[in-house]
Every structure is written in C-alpha cells, then in structure tokens.
Amino acid sequence: MSVNYVSISWNRSKRFYDAAMIAFALIYLASFVIVAKLALPSPGNLADEVLAIRALGSLAIILLHITLAIGPAARLWPSLLPLLYNRRHLGVFTFLIALAHAGLSTVYYHGFGNTNPIISLLATAEQTVSLATLPYQLFGAGALAILFLMAATSHDFWLKNLSQRVWKNLHMLVYVAYVLLIAHVAFGAMQVERATLPTILVIAGAVVLVILHILAGTRERRIDRSPAPAAPDNWLDAGDLATIPDTRARIILAPGGERIAVFRNGQTASALTNVCAHQGGPLGEGKIVDGCVTCPWHGFQFHPETGCAPPPFTDRVRTYPVRITAGRVEVCSTPAPIAASEAPHTPKAGGTHG
Amino acid sequence: MTRRHRSVHLTMWLLAAGVIAATLVVALLARGGAAA
C-alpha cells in the first residue's frame, strides 16, 4: 500500500514473485500441451483448442489450490509468510487464467450456433436428466463470478471503502467458489473423461487443502480455548523480559479471549492488540522494523508505544499499558485510552506502509 | 484475525469439507452408474 492508491502495488519482492508465478504458468501450459501431444493415444482426435481449454482450466485449479493453501500453511510454517505477502497478485492471476479458460470454452462450445453463447450456456441446465449430466458449466460460471468479485475488490481502495468487516465477509465467498469449482470438475471432467489421474489429483487437492485449513484452525482454537491467566489486579504476567527475543513479541491471552502482542525493544516492552488494522494479521508474529511493529502479512506498521501508523498514514491499533516489575513484564488487561490529540510517531526511516 | 473470525473460518472449512466430500461421492457414484 502507498499513501495514494495506485493501480498495482509493485515492489521488488512482488515483482520477483509475480515473475515466478508467470514463469510457472507458462512452463505448466507448455508442459501440458507437450505431454498431451506425446502421451495421448490419438492426439489427432483432440483439437488444439480443447487442449488449451484443459490446460488453462487445470492451471486455474492448481493456482486456486495454492492460493487457498498459503493462508493455513503460513500459520503452520511461518517461514512461508513471504508467500502470504504476495498472495493478492496470485489470486487475481488465478481469476485471469480461469477467465481465459471460461472465455475459450464458451466460444468453442457455444459460439458457433444460432443461439447467443451466454443463452446457450445457461440452457445447459435444461439438459439435466441425471446426476452425471448436472450443468457443470454453470457451476464453473458461478465460481468465476465469485472470483471476479474477489479480484475486482482485492485492492486496498475497496478494503478501505467497503470497511474491513464487509470486505472480509465478501471475500469469505471463496468457500462457495471453491465448492462450486469442485462440483464443476466433479460433474464435468470427472464424468466426461474416464481418466483416473485427474480424478485422483482433484480429490487429493481437496483433501490436502481441507486438512491444512482444519489443522491450522484447530491449532488456533486450542490456543483460544486455553485458560486465560487470572488477573486479580488487572495486570497480566507476560513473563521475563529477557525471555522475549529482542524486536519480537510474546502473545498472551486477555481474560476476554482476545490476544495481546507484547513486544520487546531492547530493555523496554510495549503491548498492542494482536489484530492488525489492515486485514487482521497477527501483529505479534511480526517484528519491530525501523522502530515500528511490522505486520507479517502485508507490512503495515505501527508505533509500539502509541499504536499509531507512521505519518502520513492514519491507521492505529489498540495499545495496553505495560510495567516491568523485577524483570517481569506485566500488561494491563484494559486497553489504554486513545487520546485524540496524540501526535503520530515519526519513524527513523521513510514510512512504508505495506 | 479476531477470535470470532478464526472461529468462523474453521466452521466454514468444516462445512466446506462436508459439502465437498458429498459432492465427490455423488460424482463418483454418477460416474460408476454411467459406466455400468
């Protein structure tokens, strides 16, 4: 993110990941076509257009699986966090590949009759006579419509203007899109083609993805359900200052169940809510960079003492009073009041907000 | 994420897992039926 909205937010890291993503897509598409031409018993029977449709469709499914796996994988293995930082472009790219697949399919299968291609596509619903003839193309169209909505609103402009709550709820439609996509493949390719490999791959992909999400989710729930420390005098014990790695945080539970990130910066400590003001990223899993707590998800920064983003940004997060008693850090479970007149912190380096 | 969001995510994935499993089972049965 920058101070002013820009169409595409690129930096060195994002350029590198985007280049890797495009290279992967090109290599995959070329490999798919080459292998299909060499391996299929009668390559002459399969039109190049059909090959391209299948290559793009399978690529879109693979990319969607990767996109959806990054979140839980980064929770389980923090070394994968750089992938999360670059995930947004991958999501939009997935939509573009799916759009190419859909466009080519619609033109190839519905574009050469007397009926409007879209009407022809919708009419496939009337041809349902059994489970095996469910209108799989419409499932795919539904998934594509949701992916479009998500790609179109993926920009921080929409996150800001729709509000974080509405935006998050909107992007939760990805669950529906994923289920529709599985139905698209299950009642499409799995019925039309008798090949076992694609069927196994789709089932394996769904199983891996669901297991990853459930593993990450249950681990988080276990933490959420662990008993919050008793705080008779409203002060929570966060342990010895020396045991918190410098510029890093220890995450503790407030009595209400929300998480507080307790950062160490040299011989001082500060506490902030663990929820980033941008997309709710876990601030406590980030570190202090240039004097600011930096979210591991998208690099949003907040001053550890005031919770204010460095100027010219205006975001802020809740902070908690901290005291150090005999080397132990104690955090008040009641958030510090937000002073309207509080001056934002000026960072040492130029403010990069994401 | 807030505690509520984490809970919603897990619930949605459990729900999605059930729907996906049912979809795949029905699709495999339909495939078997069509083959027979």
Q: Over the stretch A21-37, which tens digit does the pLDDT of each residue have?
A: 999 999 999 999 988 88
Residues of B near A (CB-CB distance < 8 A)? 1-3, 5-10, 12-17, 19-20, 23-24, 26-31, 33-35
Q: What value does the mean pLDDT of chain A take?
A: 85
Question: Do residues A306 and A316 make contact, with C-beta atoms less than 8 angstroms apart?
Answer: yes
Q: pLDDT tens digits for A188-221?
A: 888 776 667 778 888 999 999 999 999 998 888 8
User: What average pLDDT does this structure show over A315-325?
Assistant: 92
A264: pLDDT strictly greater than 70: yes
Look at A166 and A128; give whichever has higher pLDDT.
A166
Q: Tell me what pLDDT residue A349 has.
A: 36
Q: pLDDT tens digits for B1-36?
A: 777 888 888 888 888 899 999 988 888 888 776 655
DSSP string, A273-289: ESB-TTT--BGGGSEEE
A275: pLDDT strictly greater than 80: yes
Complex ipTM: 0.83
User: What average pLDDT does this structure show over A285-300?
Assistant: 89
Closest residue by Cα to residue A279 from B4, B11, B5, B1: B1
Q: Global pTM?
A: 0.81
A64: pLDDT strictly greater than 50: yes
Q: Which residue has the tokens 């100027």?
A: A311
A43: pLDDT strictly greater than 60: no
User: What average pLDDT does this structure show over A39-56?
Assistant: 80
- For residue A214, give the amino acid letter: I
Q: Tell me what pLDDT residue A86 has.
A: 81
Question: Do residues A278 and A298 make contact, with C-beta atoms less than 8 angstroms apart?
Answer: yes
A354: pLDDT strictly greater than 50: no
- The tokens of A126 are what? 């009337």
Question: Do residues A143 and A185 make contact, with C-beta atoms less than 8 angstroms apart?
Answer: no
- Size of chain B, expressed as the number of residues it contains: 36
B7–A179 C-beta distance less than 8 A:
no
Q: Which of A65, A170, A179, A295 to mutate: most B Cβ within 10 Å?
A: A179
A275–B29 C-beta distance less than 8 A:
no
Rounded to whole angstroms, the Cα distance separating A68 from A344 reads 36
A3 band by pLDDT with thresholds 50, 70 and 90: low
What's the gap in Å between the CA of B36 and the closest CA on chain A? Answer: 12
Q: pLDDT tens digits for A220-242?
A: 888 777 766 666 688 888 899 99
Q: Which residue has the tokens 């795949």?
A: B24
Rounded to whole angstroms, the Cα distance separating A150 from A267 reads 44
